[in-house]
Structures are given as C-alpha cells and as structure tokens.
C-alpha cells in the first residue's frame, strides 16, 4: 500500500472499496438474516445521498459531522466553547491534565472545523474529548500488551474513537466491522489521518486469511466478519451502536464476541433504561437487549449508568442514557457455575434487606415491617422520589443486573421489575419489556415471551387503531391496553 497518498487517491480507493462491498452485500442474504434497525433504515437515505455526491472526501466528512448520525456536535460558538470547557473541567476532576497528554491528542484537521475550538494551542471538539475519556477508561481498566495486539470495533461511525485509540496504542491493529455505508466514512477519515499507515480493505473473505498484524487498520463489512472468528482481540469496542440494532442482531454479535472469537476485554457504552412510548416506538421493543445480554463468564470491571462524563449539561442531554461496561473475559479454568450461583444469591439476599423491598413503616414510634399497605413510601422520607439512586457498581441496580446475569431466576427478575417501577415513576423503560419476557421464560406455565405480539390480529388491530386515532386521550387508552397486555397492570398510572 502506498504511503503519503493524495486526498484524491483516498477518495478513489474508498469509493471503489464501497462499490465492491455494496455489491457483495446486496448479492448475499446477510441483510435478510440480519436486518438493519429502525434508525439505520431511515439514515440510509441521507448516507446514500452523501456518498453519491460529487464532493471531496474531506467535504463529505465535514457534512457527515453536521448530522447526528455518528455524533452530536454544534457550530454555535458559545455552546461549543462551554462544552469544551466542561470536558476540560471534567478531566481536571479526574486529575488528568489534558494539555499534558501527547501533542498528537487533538482533534483531527479532517474533522469539521465548525465543531472545533482551540485551547492551549490544541484543536478540540466535544466529540473528540469524549473519545479521549473512553480511551483513558480503557487504559485504566484493561491491561493491554505493550507490543502489537488486535482491537475490534463494531459500528465505529466515522472513526473518531478508532483514531483516538490508535493514537493511544500506536502498535495495535485496529479492525472495524460495520455496514458498507459507514465503512465508507471511517475508511476515508482514518486513511486521511494516518497517511503512513497500512490499510486493508476486505472485499472478499479470503483476504482475512493473512496475518492482521501486517496492518494498522482493517475494514471488514459485517457480512465477512465470520472470517475474524479465528483471531484474538485484546479489546472489543462498541459505543452507541448495539443499542441501535434489532435483538436478533444483538444476539448474533454477543454470541460472536462471547463464543465465536476470542476477546479479552469488552468496552461498551450503550443504551440502558431509556424511557419509551410503547405505541409510537413499538420497534424499540425489539431493540432493547444490548445492555442485558452479557453471559456469566465476564468479570465486570466497571459498570455505571449515566457515567459522570456523559452528563455534560448542554447537547449531551439529546443523547440516549447509556451504560458504560468494561468487562474481562474469564479463562476457561476460572469459570465456576457454583461461585456464580453463590455470588448471585449473596447479592439478592442483601437487596432483599433494602428498604425499597421491605417497605418499613413507623408505628407507635417503632419501626415495623408488617402490614406494608399502600402507603409506602411516606412523604418526607428519602424513599419518596429518591433523587440520588446509586447507578454505580455499589448500587441496587447493578446488584440486580449482576445477580440476574450470574444466575437468573423468576424471583430476581421480579425484583428487578419492581425496582425499575420505582425508578421510572410512571414512565416505562424499554428493558422492562425485555425483563417481562425473561420472566415469562423463567416462569413454568407462563405465556410465551412477547406473546401479546403473537395473538392473531391483536397487534395489527392495535396498529390500525394507532393510525386512525390522533387524539391524546385515545392514545392514552391504547397505551393502557398495551400495558395491561404486557404488565397485567389494571391500575396503570397512564
Ligand atoms: C450512532 S453510530 C455510533 C458511532 C460510534 N460508535 C460512536 O459512538 O460515535 C452507530 C454505529 O453502529 C453501526 N450500525 C448500526 N446498525 C448496524 C448493524 N446492523 N450492523 C453493524 N453496524 C451497525 C452504524 O453504522 C454506526 O457505525
């Protein structure tokens, strides 16, 4: 592969790569077996129009960064300055001097300049600073080798995190698997940024039979990813991506990572506990298992919902609520079903003693646990509208999630559903529907999971009603019906 190639050459190479893989994708039955999620079906119109536009590659990259498809940015001067300053303060709070990092750690000159500001002689964009935080978290929790090793990223967007991780770990071989339309952008962006790097564009499965260590970057369309199964990846990354796939596709990738290939560390930042309207967002009921599909052979190193770095109070509020998970795969010799069962039991026993579960009251100046009644939680108690649920590994949510992951049973899932009801305060989290299905699976004699969708005519009838009805009160009554079907909940608050 030539080094120091021209921008024109990059465009020609990535365009020809894209045309070949698009053709192979269309000729295969991959899209039928693993269909795109609802967002990506609609994103496709915009992506195809931009790919086909007669424009320089750097202009295409600027345009893609004006959209919210791969990241959320703003060209508003005041806002982007405030955002960058917020991230710099966040770094300081972690004891990181961002200006003391390697000078290469600044935003790419191929990123949209309208999203950037200059601080201390470095170019920064909020999205770039976010990737530095993720890279620091990887560095903190994952003992990665000093020499060459493989990183696999599924769904890398335009390649922002890939660029930052490559700057952190220059000897790594960075493999990206993605849909053809997105590989077009990540291949363009990374090739322009690493002009001296060695790039492999995989246009047919046999190209994966050579050693990956010969390359800096390898681009693999998803339909050829099975060719990666024999490889070992020290790190697998997936951010804001599995949560936008259908459940069958999420299961395929989790199986790929957990059973088909060898992965040491998992870095994930994906949707968890986002509220949905089950009428207008019915599709999300089939895209809700990305943060709950970890098997019991991971050691969880870091787990936090809404981590502090995701709480920038400006545009970040437009993003979904995400769970950061850093996990280490256990060796075969370390795996013990008995110790998982024991740990799961310990966690549940401690949660069973917590107030939200026991609902203690005060009677005759004494704490009492009997006659729970409907009055819990009492006003003027911390339990009433808890303003600070612990969303870290020390909290109840993690303990329930972990107890279910290690050894699921219907009691633990029922406890999770009860706790989610407390947190959601009358709205519904998309994972509630996942847990309800899991409860049915774990309860002997219960209806089949997702059975409300399979009742003949029922789903179609509900859909027709939704289309026909526009008034709020009627929509509320449809929601009540859905809730009754799914929750068996007669006195739903909607
Ligand atoms: C919102 S972008 C996130 C990009 C980047 N990871 C980030 O955090 O900014 C979602 C990514 O998932 C990819 N993606 C969506 N559906 C996919 C599917 N069914 N198979 C593989 N990748 C998919 C998209 O192409 C894109 O790269």
CATH value at residue 189: 3.40.50.150
179 pocket-lining for ligand 1 (C-beta < 6 Å): yes
Q: Are residues 320 and 348 in the same domain?
A: no
State the Cα–Cα distance between residues 456 and 97, nearest whole angstrom: 61
Q: Find the 353 Cα to ligand 1 centroid distance in Å.
A: 41
**Is residue 480 domain-resident?**
no
Q: Is the domain of 250 the same as that of 370?
A: no
Q: Is the CB of 239 under 6 A from ligand 1?
A: yes
pLDDT at 484: 55
Q: Give the Å distances, CA to CA, from 447 to 435, 450, 453, 460, 492.
A: 14, 8, 12, 20, 21
Whether ligand 1 lies within 6 angstroms of the CB of 37 is answered as yes
Whether residues 155 and 303 share a domain: the answer is: yes
| Cα 412 to averaged position of ligand 1 atoms, centre (Å) | 32
User: What percent of the chain is modeled with pLDDT above 70?
Assistant: 88
Q: Both ends of the chain: CA-CA distance in Å?
A: 61
- Beta-carbon count within 10 A of 26 CB: 10
User: What burial class does residue 252 get, using C-beta atoms within 10 Å of its C-beta: 0-12 exposed, 13-18 middle, 19+ buried?
Assistant: middle
Residue 237 lies in a domain: yes
**222 C-beta closer than 6 A to ligand 1:** yes
pLDDT tens digits for the chain (494 residues)? 444 568 888 888 999 999 999 999 999 999 999 999 999 999 999 999 999 988 888 889 999 999 999 988 888 999 999 999 999 999 999 999 999 999 999 999 999 999 999 999 999 999 999 999 999 999 999 999 999 999 999 999 999 999 999 999 999 999 999 999 999 999 999 999 999 999 999 999 999 999 999 999 999 999 999 999 999 999 999 999 999 999 999 999 999 999 999 999 999 999 999 999 888 889 999 999 999 999 999 999 999 999 999 999 998 888 999 999 999 999 999 999 999 999 999 999 999 999 999 998 888 888 888 766 667 888 888 888 899 999 999 999 999 999 999 999 999 999 999 999 999 988 999 999 999 999 999 998 776 665 444 333 344 444 444 444 444 555 555 555 555 555 554 443 33
Minimal CA–CA distance to 271: which of 281, 260, 258? 281
d(CA 350, CA 402): 13
Residue nearest to atom 1 of ligand 1 (CA): 70
58 lines ligand 1 (CB under 6 A): no
Same domain, 121 and 185: yes
Q: Whose CA is nearest to atom 13 of ligand 1?
A: 155
For ligand 1, whether the C-beta of 240 sits within 6 Å is yes
Residue 459 lies in a domain: no
Of the candidates 286, 304, 334, which is a domain's last residue? Answer: 334
166 and 312 fall within a common domain: yes
Give 177 Cα–ligand 1 centroid separation in angstroms: 9
Q: In Å, what is the CA distance from 157 to each residue of 22, 84, 203, 262, 310?
A: 17, 21, 19, 23, 18
Q: Give percent above pLDDT 90 in the chain.
A: 76
Q: How many domains would you assign to the chain?
A: 2
416 and 269 within one domain: no
The residue whose CA has the least distance to atom 14 of ligand 1 is: 155
Residue 442 forms part of a structural domain:
yes
CA 40 to ligand 1 centroid distance, Å: 8
Taking alpha carbons only, the member of 212, 316, 202 closest to residue 269 is: 316
Q: Residue 255: which of 281, 299, 289 has the closest Cα?
A: 289
- Residue whose CA is at the smallest distance from ligand 1 atom 16: 245
Tell me, yes or no, whether 398 lies in a domain. Answer: yes
Q: Among the atoms of ligand 1, which is closest to the Cα of residue 127?
A: 9
Q: Would you say how long the chain is, in residues? A: 494
Bridge-based pairing of strands 361-363 and 298-305 is: unpaired
User: Which of 317, 334, 351 delimits the end of a domain?
Assistant: 334
Q: Domain boundary residue among 282, 308, 334? A: 334
Question: Residue 226: inside a domain, yes or no?
Answer: yes
Whether 471 maps to a domain, the answer reads no
Ligand 1 centroid from CA 241, angstroms: 4
* Residue 108 main-chain phi, psi, to 5 deg: -70, 145
Q: Are residues 36 and 176 located together in one domain of the fold?
A: yes
Q: Ligand 1 in contact with 57 (CB < 6 A)? A: no
Cα gap 418→459, rounded to integer Å: 26
How far does the centroid of ligand 1 lie from the alpha carbon of residue 383, in Å? 39
Q: Quote the domain boundaries for residue 156.
A: 7-334
pTM: 0.90
Q: Is residue 59 situated within a structural domain?
A: yes
Q: Are residues 170 and 243 in the same domain?
A: yes
Do 204 and 348 fall within a single domain?
no
Residues 362 and 308 in one domain: no
Same domain, 85 and 190: yes
Q: For ligand 1, say whether the CB of 165 is within 6 Å of any of its atoms.
A: no
**Phi/psi at 163 (5° precision):** -60, -45
């Amino acid at each position: 592969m030539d080094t120091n190639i021209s921008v024109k050459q990059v465009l020609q190479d990535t365009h020809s790569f894209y045309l070949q893989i698009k053709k192979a994708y269309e000729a295969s039955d991959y899209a039928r077996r693993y269909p795109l999620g609802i967002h990506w079906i609609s994103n496709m119109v915009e992506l195809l129009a931009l790919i086909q536009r007669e424009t320089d590659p750097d202009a295409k990259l600027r345009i893609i960064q004006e959209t919210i498809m791969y990241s959320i940015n703003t060209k508003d001067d005041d806002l982007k300055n405030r955002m960058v300053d917020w991230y710099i303060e966040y770094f300081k709070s972690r004891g990181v001097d961002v200006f003391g990092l390697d000078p290469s750690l600044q935003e790419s000159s191929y990123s949209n300049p309208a999203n950037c500001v200059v601080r201390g002689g470095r170019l920064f964009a909020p999205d770039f600073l976010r990737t530095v935080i993720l890279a620091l978290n990887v560095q903190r929790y994952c003992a990665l080798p000093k020499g060459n090793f493989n990183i696999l990223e599924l769904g890398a967007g335009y390649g922002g995190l890939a660029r930052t991780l490559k700057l952190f770990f220059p000897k790594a071989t960075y493999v990206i698997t993605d849909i053809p339309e997105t590989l077009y952008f990540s291949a363009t962006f990374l090739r322009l940024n690493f002009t001296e790097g060695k790039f492999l564009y995989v246009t047919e499965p046999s190209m994966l039979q050579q050693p990956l260590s010969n390359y800096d970057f390898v681009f693999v369309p998803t339909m050829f990813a099975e060719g990666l199964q024999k490889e070992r990846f020290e790190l697998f990354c997936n951010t804001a991506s599995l949560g936008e796939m259908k459940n069958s596709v999420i299961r395929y990738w989790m199986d790929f990572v957990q059973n088909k290939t060898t992965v040491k560390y998992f870095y994930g930042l994906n949707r968890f506990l986002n509220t949905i309207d089950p009428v207008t967002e019915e599709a999300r009921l089939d895209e809700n298992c990305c943060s709950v599909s970890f098997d019991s052979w991971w050691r969880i190193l870091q787990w936090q919902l809404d981590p502090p770095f995701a709480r920038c109070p400006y545009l970040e509020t437009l993003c979904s609520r995400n769970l950061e998970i850093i996990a280490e795969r256990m060796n075969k010799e370390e795996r013990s079903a008995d110790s998982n069962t024991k740990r799961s039991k310990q966690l549940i026993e401690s949660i069973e003693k917590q107030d939200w579960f026991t609902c203690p009251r005060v009677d005759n100046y004494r704490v009492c646990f009997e006659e729970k009644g409907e009055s819990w939680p009492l006003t003027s108690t911390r339990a009433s509208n808890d303003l600070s649920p612990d969303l870290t590994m020390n909290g109840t949510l993690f303990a329930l999630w972990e107890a279910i992951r290690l050894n699921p049973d219907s009691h633990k899932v029922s406890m999770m559903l009860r706790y989610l009801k407390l947190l959601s305060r009358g709205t519904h989290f998309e994972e509630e529907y996942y847990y309800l299905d899991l409860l049915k699976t774990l309860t002997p004699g219960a209806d089949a999971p997702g059975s409300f969708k399979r009742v003949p005519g029922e789903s179609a009838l509900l859909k027709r009603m939704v289309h026909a009805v526009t008034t709020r009160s009627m929509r509320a009554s449809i929601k009540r019906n859905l809730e009754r079907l799914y929750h068996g909940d007669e006195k739903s608050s909607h």
